[in-house]
Amino acid sequence: MNIPVSLTVNGKRVQADVDPRTLLVQFIRDELRLTGTHVGCDTAQCGACTVHMNGRAVKSCSMLVVQAQGAEVTTIEGLAKNGELHPMQAAFRECHGLQCGFCTPGMVMSAVQILKDKPNACEQEIREGLEGNICRCTGYHNIVKSVQLCQSGKVSTTV
């Protein structure tokens, strides 16, 4: 028996009847076709599925979409505004904080949360903050640099 859900994703109200076992990430990817949010593991370890729900970074693979009933969800597709990259996106580009791009959306969403929680996070705190996101390409070096550049406010966001 399907269950109706209603939530706001990237500022747009969406409604659907879903199989109760539908994960939030499955709803985002399969129902809404927002494929920027990725699935990299099945144990809530890799963080590729990270989105923001009601202003907090969450792993969308480890919650049901019905738990997001009425919530405001932002995915990577909703981070850039009016054709302008979010400073974190721009910083990742400037610092070469991504290679294959697969972990990137989740990494960016987590990084935004880190600076929201700790605007003056030091390198060690940034590294600890990224602990829930696995990247296999960059060795994290340039991801840390990206977060630090964003933190400095010296990043150009024009596309």
Query: Closest CB to other proteins among 93 and 118?
Result: 93
Nearer Cβ to other proteins (23/70): 23
Rounded to a whole number of angstroms, the minimum distance from the CB of residue 67 to other proteins is: 19
Report the site for other proteins in 61-100 (rule: CB under 8 A).
Answer: 75-77, 79-80, 85, 89, 92-94, 96, 98-100
Choosing from 36, 59, 68, 155, the residue that interacts with other proteins (CB under 8 A) is: 36
Report DSSP state, residue 138: S
Residues 45-64 touching other proteins, rule: CB under 8 A, are: 45-46, 48
Tabulate helix, strand, coil % of the chain (nearest 5). 35, 20, 45
Span of 1-9, 52-60, 66-74, 127-135 interacting with other proteins by CB under 8 A: 127-135
Which residue's entry shows tokens 């199989």? 19
**Phi/psi-derived region of residue 101, left when phi > 0, alpha when psi is between -120 and 50, beta in every other case:** left
Instruction: Report d(CA 91, CA 94) in Å as an integer.
Output: 5
Interacting residue with other proteins among 50, 60, 74, 104 (CB under 8 A) = 104
Tell the burial category of 155 from Cβ atoms under 10 Å away from its Cβ (0-12, 13-18, 19+).
buried
